[in-house]
Amino acid sequence: MTTKKEQRRIKIKYRVRNKISGTAARPRMSVFRSNKQIYVQIINDETGTTLAAASSLGMEAMPKKEQAAKVGEAIAKKALEAGIETVVFDRNGYLYHGRVKEVADGARNGGLKF
């Protein structure tokens, strides 16, 4: 059973996902936020493959916002190594605020273009 808050986020997620999609030239950068960790994937929706991924696993000693910024920089580094320079940002139904914004800012500082 899902709560009203979860149902609301799922509706927003599908509304956003109807408008954006990752291609080979411009893959989708999807963010998942749990209570303890944050995960980011760069996905090509045409083939259904994950091109790069990063998470905050192993960074529990630092504050969550710092973790998110480091994950953003890590995904940018992995993406640039894979030859990906531009992405479509998928906030996955979360508000563009707090840790989600930190991931985006970290990725921009790492060299990715949205």
Per-residue model confidence (pLDDT) at position 77: 97
Question: Tens digit of pLDDT for each residue in 15-72?
Answer: 988 888 888 889 999 999 999 999 999 999 999 999 999 999 999 899 999 999 999 9
- Output the domain CATH number for residue 55: 3.30.420.100
Please state, in angstroms and as integers, the Cα–Cα distance from residue 17 to each residue in 20, 63, 91, following that order: 5, 30, 10
Q: How many domains does the chain have?
A: 1
Q: Which residues contact 96 (CB under 8 A, 6 or more apart)?
A: 104
DSSP per residue, 82-110: TT--B-EEE-TTS-SSTHHHHHHHHHHHH
pTM of the model: 0.89
Confidence class for position 1, pLDDT limits 50, 70, 90: confident
Query: How far from the centroid of its chain's Cα atoms is residue 48's Cα?
Result: 16
Domain limits for position 83:
4-110
